[in-house]
């Protein structure tokens, strides 16, 4: 099974600054990490590869520094990494980003399955995975909590929703986005990290993947960010409960029930 | 562990390189340098396990990868409950193969990125969450007579609760105790020593001048302008606890290491 796992480098902090002009996150000087949801995608890809054989290719679009998250994916089991990096990709919204990723997946060739994290913690759109499927015209399942079965032609997954889950059987190739329930991501080993540090990460540009300039960057992005603002500060109040243990527990339960938490 | 106390063998904490490091090879080199220095001094190197929930590489894998020499009396690995089952087995098997004898079993500090052992992983179906007690029992059961297992004691927790926890740890098979850092004689530590006279106790001496970190460890604020001399404090700890071993946390290898050589012997 040839699996592409899409990963993104995101800011490590919650207090990300936003450029008032461009309305985009200011990434300079900010510590960056592998998007937490993508760690589950990588783990699932590695587990499927270990079960069915084949190859896991980690794919990312971003600045050259984003190679670090590809190395992290390699350190936990991905076979290789590919980075899409060029000024022309800058300013891409989720539609243009998924177009670029889909062109790279076409260029890789012979891909059976694309796995993405449910969403990135910086944008929270959850649109890129489904966008890739739309561009490639492949079947897709979002918010997958379990891969039940797979063979060379089909994959059966549990797709989570508010009221439970659906069991979906899809013909391959397909795209899935995964949620945290799907597995427990492994932590990189020293051996894996040392190997990943030595890996070559090829950088692909628009011409390498045959991407049309009108479909990438700002020109290829139908979304216009009109305004960006931090969320309002929550006015939380701390209530101290005093008394004996039994009294405290009783009052805590009453307070939780009052707020419909219990 | 008695041997360590009788022979004035310090327990020297060494922090392994963090997962987030961008200069891994240099950090590994520094780790090896510190480790070898501790070995040459005849002390015991104590390697932490994702301390404060910060992701770091594991002691056993660094020892393995760098092919560092292991003298069973001179290495202690911290082991917490934030691992997968397969990872746990791999750590224990490697320690056994390498001849690492001392393990400090702690519940540990978690993070979103760290997996947690599940009760079924350590055959403890009767609990909701795995603590050092269940991990200790599991190791005792599956690796009998292989390791000497220690546990932590926190004199800054409510004493009734902490003593109850310690009893469960001792009942589960703990063979030595390491305290949280103390900077002066501590009544709760004294009580614990009296309660368990047959169990070797290692008191932790805080060697860093960064008092805000110590505040985090002890759980109460220590003003930054507090006068604090780690070496003088260490000497006082030796006087206050002559029958205990000493664990040196955050020891400065450049500025302090050369000073500790005679400290214990001169008491």
Who's near A233: CB < 8 A, 6+ residues apart?
none
**Domain extents in chain B:** 2-260
Which residue from A minimizes the CA distance to B54? A187
Residue A232 predicted with pLDDT over 70: yes
All residues of chain A having their beta carbon less than 8 Å from the beta carbon of residue B87 are 186-187
Task: Give me the residue from B22, B65, B84 closest to A190, CB to CB.
Answer: B65
Give residue B107's pLDDT. 93
ipTM of the complex: 0.85
Q: What is the rounded CA–CA span in Å between residue B81 and residue B77?
A: 13
Alpha carbon of B201: minimum distance to chain A alpha carbons (Å)? 32
Residue B14 in contact with residue B31, Cβ under 8 Å? Answer: yes
Mutate to test the interface with A, among B23, B57, B80 (most CBs of A within 10 A): B57
Give residue B167's pLDDT. 97
Q: Which two tokens stand for residue B247?
A: 């664990």
Q: What is the rounded CA–CA span in Å between residue B64 and residue B27?
A: 16
Per residue in A178-195, pLDDT (tens digit) is 999 999 999 999 999 999
Reply yes or no on domain A2-215 having CATH 3.40.50.620: yes
Distances, alpha carbon B15 to alpha carbons A61, B12, B214, in Å:
34, 10, 16
Alpha carbon of A193: minimum distance to chain B alpha carbons (Å)? 9
Per residue in A141-167, pLDDT (tens digit) is 999 999 999 998 999 999 999 889 999
Residue of A95, A2, A78 lying closest to A41 (CA atoms): A78
Which residue from B minimizes the CA distance to A37? B113
In this prediction, residues A110-115 reach a mean pLDDT of 97
Q: Check CB contact under 8 Å for B19 and A184.
A: no
Give residue B20's pLDDT. 85
**Domain extents in chain A:** 2-215
Give residue A140's pLDDT. 97
Task: Give me the residue from A68, A191, A197 closest to B61, CB to CB.
Answer: A191
Mutate to test the interface with A, among B17, B19, B82, B116 (most CBs of A within 10 A): B19
Residue with structure tokens 């062109």? Answer: A103
Give residue B220's pLDDT. 76
Give residue B52's pLDDT. 82
Q: Which two tokens stand for residue B67?
A: 């092919």
Residue of B159, B162, B227 lying closest to B187 (CA atoms): B159
In this prediction, residues A248-261 reach a mean pLDDT of 85
Q: Pick the residue with more confidence: B231 or A26?
A: B231
Q: Which two tokens stand for residue A199?
A: 């890996």
Per residue in A185-231, pLDDT (tens digit) is 999 999 999 999 999 999 999 999 999 999 999 999 998 888 777 77
Distances, alpha carbon A182 to alpha carbons A146, A162, A178, B55, in Å:
5, 16, 7, 22
pLDDT category, A233, cuts 50, 70, 90? confident
- Helices and strands, number each (H, E), in chain A: 7, 11
Largest CA distance in chain A: 71
Residue A26 predicted with pLDDT over 80: no
Q: What is the DSSP letter of A229?
A: -
Give residue A15's pLDDT. 58
The model carries a pTM of 0.82
Give residue A224's pLDDT. 84
Contact pairs from chain A to chain B, CB under 8 Å: 35
pLDDT along chain B (267 residues), means of 10: 92 94 94 97 95 90 95 96 94 96 93 88 92 96 96 93 96 96 92 96 92 78 82 93 95 92 80
Sign of the alpha-carbon torsion through A9, A14, A15, A17: positive
Q: Check CB contact under 8 Å for B61 and A197.
A: no
Q: Check CB contact under 8 Å for A188 and B84.
A: no
Domain spanning B2-260, CATH class: alpha beta
Radius of gyration of chain B (CA): 18
Q: Pick the residue with more confidence: A173 or A18?
A: A173
Give residue A16's pLDDT. 66
Per residue in A53-75, pLDDT (tens digit) is 999 999 999 999 999 999 999 99
Largest CA distance in chain B: 51
Q: Which residues is A2 bridged to in the sheet? A: A55
Q: Which long-range contacts (CB under 8 A, 24 or more apart) does B23-29 make?
A: B24/A193, B24/A194, B24/A197, B25/A197, B28/B62, B28/B65, B28/B66
Distance of alpha carbon B227 from the chain centroid = 26
Q: Check CB contact under 8 Å for B65 and A191.
A: yes
Give residue B228's pLDDT. 85
Give residue B264's pLDDT. 85
Give residue A14's pLDDT. 61
Residue B246 in contact with residue B203, Cβ under 8 Å? Answer: yes
Give residue A13's pLDDT. 67
Residue A132 predicted with pLDDT over 80: yes
Q: Check CB contact under 8 Å for A36 and B114.
A: no
All residues of chain B having their beta carbon less than 8 Å from the beta carbon of residue A39 are 113
State phi, psi for A90 to the nearest 5 degrees: -60, 140
Residue A27 predicted with pLDDT over 90: no
Distances, alpha carbon B135 to alpha carbons A232, B85, B87, B178, B179, in Å:
43, 11, 13, 17, 19
By the 10 Å C-beta count (0-12 exposed, 13-18 middle, 19+ buried), B55 is classed as middle
Who's near B151: CB < 8 A, 6+ residues apart?
B104, B105, B106, B132, B136, B166, B169, B170, B174, B176, B177, B178
């Amino acid at each position: 099974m040839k699996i592409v796992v899409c990963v993104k480098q995101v800011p490590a902090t919650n207090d990300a600054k936003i450029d008032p002009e461009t309305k985009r996150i200011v990434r300079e000087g900010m510590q960056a990490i592998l998007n937490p949801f993508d760690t589950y995608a990588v783990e699932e890809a590695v587990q499927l590869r270990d079960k069915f054989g084949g190859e896991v290719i980690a794919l990312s679009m971003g600045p050259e520094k984003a190679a670090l998250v590809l190395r992290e994916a390699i350190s936990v089991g991905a076979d290789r990494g590919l980075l899409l990096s060029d000024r022309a990709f800058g300013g891409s919204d989720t539609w243009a980003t998924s177009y670029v990723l889909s062109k790279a997946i076409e260029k890789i060739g012979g891909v059976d399955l694309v796995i993405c994290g449910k969403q990135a913690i910086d944008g929270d759109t959850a649109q890129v995975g489904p966008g890739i499927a739309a561009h490639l015209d492949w079947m897709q399942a979002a918010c997958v909590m379990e891969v039940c079965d797979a063979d060379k032609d089909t994959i059966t997954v549990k797709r989570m929703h508010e009221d439970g889950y659906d069991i979906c059987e899809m013909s391959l190739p397909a795209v899935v986005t995964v949620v945290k329930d799907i597995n427990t991501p492994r932590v990189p080993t020293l051996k894996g990290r040392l190997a990943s540090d030595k890996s070559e990460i090829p950088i692909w540009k628009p011409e390498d993947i045959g991407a049309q300039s009108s479909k990438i960057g700002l020109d290829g992005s139908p979304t216009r960010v009109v305004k960006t603002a931090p969320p309002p500060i929550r006015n939380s109040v701390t209530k101290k409960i005093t008394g004996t243990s039994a009294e405290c527990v009783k009052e805590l339960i009453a307070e939780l029930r009052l707020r419909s938490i219990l | 562990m008695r041997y360590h106390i009788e022979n004035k063998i310090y327990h020297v904490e060494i922090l392994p390189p963090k997962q987030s490091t961008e200069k891994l090879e240099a950090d590994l080199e520094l780790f090896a340098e510190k480790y070898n220095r501790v070995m040459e001094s005849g002390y015991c190197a104590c390697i932490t396990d994702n301390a404060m929930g910060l992701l770091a590489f594991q002691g056993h894998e660094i020892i393995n990868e760098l092919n560092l020499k292991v003298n069973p009396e001179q290495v202690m690995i911290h082991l917490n409950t934030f691992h997968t089952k397969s990872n746990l087995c791999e750590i224990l098997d490697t320690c056994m193969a390498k001849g690492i004898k001392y393990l400090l079993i702690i519940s540990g500090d978690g993070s979103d990125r760290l997996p947690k052992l599940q009760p079924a992983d350590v055959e403890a179906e009767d609990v909701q969450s795995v603590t050092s007690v269940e991990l200790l029992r599991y190791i005792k059961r599956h690796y009998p007579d292989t390791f000497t297992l220690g546990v932590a004691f926190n004199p800054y927790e409510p004493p009734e609760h902490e003593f109850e926890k310690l009893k469960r740890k001792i009942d589960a098979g703990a063979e030595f105790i390491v305290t949280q850092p103390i900077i002066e004689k501590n009544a709760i530590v004294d009580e614990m020593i009296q309660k368990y006279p047959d169990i070797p106790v290692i008191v932790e001496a805080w060697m860093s001048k960064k008092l805000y970190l110590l505040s985090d460890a002890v759980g109460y604020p220590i003003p930054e302008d507090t006068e604090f001399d780690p070496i003088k404090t260490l000497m006082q700890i030796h006087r206050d606890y002559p029958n205990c071993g000493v664990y040196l946390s955050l020891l400065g290898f450049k500025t302090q290491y050369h000073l500790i050589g005679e400290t214990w012997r001169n008491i």
